[in-house]
Amino acid sequence: MGSTDALDRLLVTGGAGFIGSAYVRDVLGRRDGTRITVLDKLTYAGNEANLAPVRDDPEMAARLTFVRGDIADPNAVGPLVGRADAILNFAAESHVDRSILDPAAFLTTGVVGVHVLLEACRSAPGQPRFLQVSTDEVYGSVDVGEADEQAPLAPRSPYAAAKAAGELLVRSYVITHGIDAVVTRGSNTYGPYHHPEKLIPLFVTNALDDRPLPLYGDGLQRREWLYVSDHAAAIDLVLRHGMRGETYNVAGASERTNREVVSLLLEYLDKPWSLVKQVEDRPGHDRRYAMDGRKLAALGWQPTMSFEKGLAATIDWYRANEAWWRAARSGEWDDWYLRQYGQRLATATSALPPGSGVVD
Considering CB distances under 5 to 8 angstroms, the limit depending on partner class, which of ligand NAD, ligand DAU, none binds residue 45?
ligand NAD
Backbone angles phi, psi at 75, to 5 degrees: -70, -35
d(CA 204, CA 47): 20
- Active-site position among 40, 70, 93, 136: 136
CA distance linking residue 293 with residue 272, whole number of Å: 36
| Contact of 247 with 322, CB cutoff 8 Å | no
Catalytic residue among 23, 70, 146, 159: 159
Buried/exposed 126-138: b ≥16 CB within 10 Å, e otherwise: eebbbbbbbbbbb
**Which residue, 5 or 335, has its beta carbon nearer to ligand DAU?**
335
Give me the 280-319 binding string for ligand DAU, x by CB under 6 A, dash otherwise: --x------x------------------------------
CA-nearest of 16, 22, 9 to 39 is: 16
DSSP secondary structure code for residue 288 in this structure = B
Long-range (24+ apart) CB contacts under 8 A made by 166-169 are 166/92, 166/110, 166/111, 166/113, 166/114, 166/132, 166/134, 167/132, 167/134, 167/138, 167/247, 169/111, 169/114, 169/115, 169/118
Residue 258 makes contact with ligand DAU by CB under 6 A? yes
The residue range among 5-13, 103-111, 132-140, 227-235 that interacts with ligand DAU, by the rule CB under 6 A, is: 132-140
Residue 152 CB-half CA count within 13 A: 2
CB distance 224 to 175 below 8 Å: no
In 3D, which of 191, 190, 222, 224 has the Cα closest to residue 292? 224
Task: Establish if 189 lies at the interface with ligand NAD (CB under 6 A).
Answer: yes
Counting contacts by CB under 6 A, is residue 136 touching ligand DAU?
A: yes
Candidates 42, 312, 352, 358; binder of ligand NAD (CB under 6 A) is 42
| Identity of the residue, 114 or 174, whose beta carbon is nearer to ligand NAD in the bound complex | 114
Q: Are 51 and 25 in contact (CB under 8 A)?
A: yes
Active site residue 136: yes
Q: Which of 66, 216, 273, 317 binds ligand DAU (CB under 6 A)?
A: 216
Closest approach of ligand DAU to the CB of residue 137, in Å: 5
Q: Which does 216 bind (CB under 5 to 8 A by kind): ligand DAU, ligand NAD, none?
A: ligand DAU
Q: Which stretch binds ligand DAU (CB under 6 A): 123-131, 139-147, 197-205, 323-331?
A: 197-205
Stretch that binds ligand DAU, among 54-62, 89-97, 144-152, 169-177 (CB under 6 A): 89-97
Q: Which does 195 bind (CB under 5 to 8 A by kind): ligand DAU, ligand NAD, none?
A: ligand NAD
Q: Residue 223 half-sphere exposure, CB side, CA atoms within 13 Å?
A: 22
40: nearest Cα among 3, 66, 19, 75: 66
Member of 158, 214, 242, 303 binding ligand DAU (CB under 6 A): 214
Query: Between residues 20 and 128, which has the closer beta carbon with respect to ligand NAD?
Result: 20
- Which residues here bind ligand DAU, judged by CB under 6 A? 94-96, 135-137, 187-188, 198-199, 202, 214-216, 221, 223, 258, 282, 289
